[in-house]
Amino acid sequence: MMSLPLYVQGAWFLGAALFIFGLKGMSSPASARKGIVIAGYGMLIAIAGTFLVPGLKNIVLMILALGLGGAAAWISGQKVKMTDMPQMVAIYNGMGGGAAAAIAAIEFARGDVHSTVTTVLAVIGALIGAISFTGSCVAWAKLQGVLKKAHRLPAQNAVNVILALTAVGLGIAMVVMAPAKPELIYFFFAISLILGVIVTLPIGGADMPVVISLFNAFTGLAVGFEGYVLGNPALIIAGIVVGAAGTLLTQLMAKAMNRPISNILFTPMVAASSGEAISGTMKELSALDAAAMMRYASKVIIVPGYGMAVAHAQHKVWEMTEMLEEVGVEVKFAIHPVAGRMPGHMNVLLAEAGVPYDKIFDLEEINGEFGQADVALIIGANDVVNPSARTDKSSPIYGMPILNADMAQNVIVIKRGKGTGYSGVENALFFTDNCRMLYGDAQPMAGEIIQNLKSMG
């Protein structure tokens, strides 16, 4: 790295610095767009610096790869719906991990990894990059609906452990026997890729936000390790920053579910027991009744969930909110950390619909206000408002912090049917005396509420 011209190193460090400033900007919704632009300029500078490396080979292939990748990203970025953003994030994570693994594979095939330190880092980067690649592809397939249910092997945990130990053992052999024989390299990558698939297949929708975040961390770390192997400081800094941010986010998401990461990976959330018996019945109401309850309320808290995303209802929900505010109703939005299918999913959808940032509140900020709310309107959310998480020790979601929607004077739930959430647990909230159900897709139901609000003047 030190033999490279100063202008190349300077370009890489400038690009890495812009990555850090861009990530800082992404920490707030108000500055996220600016942060993405800054990081984009950093990427351009880092790429330009790479083309200035003396003696660079395969320039035509590099330009071709940049053209194909850039075109694919531009087209998909223009066409993808906001509701499909989780699967787009998942597959982009996977591409980053796959690229890191491919870099390591090429270095091993050439025999260019010489020192023990670089060999170890190359092996680690290859392992977690390969796992991130195939695991993210499976996550994409689940979110896209290609894989419609979780698939669990007999003795799943034992299979996971055996594959993991085999991959680690092969990696150690590659370090000890460096330069490794081609057969050993092929076997190592095959096991690593299979491990990503096998670990991710049993994980259901309830755990998907944490899984996406974890694979994001894996990708960042893999890129950072391979950056060291290549002697590229831009990759090292960018990878480590992304890996650290992804790791912190994964820990926060797991904490929000009150589940350790190992439990999410090796004990996917399933309704192992029906939990405590729930008394009462679900009580239905009409869109007219829902409109009247909110029209004459002083304070309404809206809790969006994945059902809102599936129904593309965010614009109708914001239109309804504006109508309520025009007649003096205070309206706020409450977001659970794992609502939706990726971290920040609900925030992105609401921002896309035009909801101001100062109306969107996290769990810790809003939970104390439900007791003063006249109405809590729940749109397609289930497990994140289930009071069984506080009381039922036999429930798979026991101990998970929830939004205290049940403490509002009245609760309205817009829901497509009477089924359970992704954890498979019946929601005790739906049977309480202060809860009413409005059955149907969120968008037409919000539209009916809007029409009734208009008729009330």
Q: Are residues 293 and 401 in the same domain?
A: yes
* 42 domain-assigned: yes
At residue 331, what are phi and psi to the nearest 5 degrees?
A: -125, 130
Give the residue carrying structure tokens 């899984």.
Answer: 211
SS3 state at 305: coil
Quote the domain boundaries for residue 225: 85-270
**What are the tokens at 298?**
């002083």
Question: For the sheet containing 410-415, what is the strand order?
Answer: 360-362, 330-335, 299-304, 375-379, 410-415, 435-439
How many CA atoms are closer than 13 Å to the CA of 331, on its beta-carbon side?
A: 24
Q: Are residues 235 and 335 in the same domain?
A: no
Q: Are residues 256 and 325 in the same domain?
A: no
- pLDDT over 60 at 10, yes or no: yes
How many domains, the chain?
A: 3
Instruction: Please compute the mean of the pLDDT values over residues 374-401 and round it to a whole number.
Output: 87
* Domain boundary pick from 208, 242, 270: 270
* 278 domain-assigned: no
Q: Are residues 154 and 220 in the same domain?
A: yes
* Domain boundary pick from 214, 236, 270: 270
Q: Are residues 44 and 116 in the same domain?
A: no
Closest CA to 410 of 300, 281, 279: 300
Q: Are residues 440 and 301 in the same domain?
A: yes
Spatial separation of the C-alpha atoms in residues 48 and 39, rounded to whole Å: 14
Out of 77-91, 147-161, 259-273, 420-434, pick the least confident. 259-273
Instruction: Please compute the mean of the pLDDT values over residues 222-246 and round it to a whole number.
Output: 86
* Domain boundary pick from 75, 94, 118: 75
- pLDDT over 60 at 352, yes or no: yes
Average per-residue pLDDT in the chain? 86
Mind listing the pLDDT tens digit for each residue in 93-119? 899 999 999 988 888 887 766 678 888
Q: Are residues 105 and 48 in the same domain?
A: no
Residue with the bigger pLDDT between 321 and 420: it is 321
H helix count then E strand count, the chain: 17, 6
Q: Are residues 255 and 387 in the same domain?
A: no
SS3 state at 410: strand
Supply the residues annotated as catalytic.
383
Closest CA to 289 of 432, 445, 88: 445
**What are the tokens at 287?**
């869109």
Bridge partners (DSSP) of residue 284 are 437
Cβ atoms of 264 and 211 within 8 Å: the answer is yes
Residue with the bigger pLDDT between 195 and 146: it is 195
pLDDT value of residue 272: 46
Instruction: Please compute the mean of the pLDDT values over residues 140-165 and round it to a whole number.
Output: 84
Out of 160-169, 178-187, 337-346, pick the least confident. 337-346
Q: Are residues 67 and 100 in the same domain?
A: no
Beta-carbon count within 10 A of 107 CB: 20
- pLDDT over 60 at 269, yes or no: no
pTM as predicted: 0.78
Cis (ω within 30 of 0) for the bond into 179?
Answer: yes
Q: 95-98 — which CB contacts under 8 Å span 24+ positions?
A: 95/133, 96/129, 96/132, 96/219, 96/220, 96/222, 96/223, 97/128, 97/129, 97/130, 97/131, 97/132, 97/133, 97/136, 97/215, 97/218, 97/219, 97/222, 98/129, 98/130, 98/132, 98/133
Mind listing the pLDDT tens digit for each residue in 14-49? 988 898 898 888 877 778 889 989 999 998 999 998
Contacts (Cβ under 8 Å, ≥6 apart) of 108: 122, 126, 174, 179, 180, 185
Bridge partners (DSSP) of residue 439 are 415
CA distance from start to end of the chain: 70
Mind listing the pLDDT tens digit for each residue in 312-346? 899 999 999 999 999 999 999 999 988 877 777 88
pLDDT value of residue 411: 96
Mind listing the pLDDT tens digit for each residue in 300-311? 999 999 889 888
Q: Are residues 138 and 175 in the same domain?
A: yes
pLDDT band with cut points at 50, 70 and 90 for residue 275: low
pLDDT value of residue 277: 56
pLDDT value of residue 123: 92
Q: Are residues 317 and 450 in the same domain?
A: yes
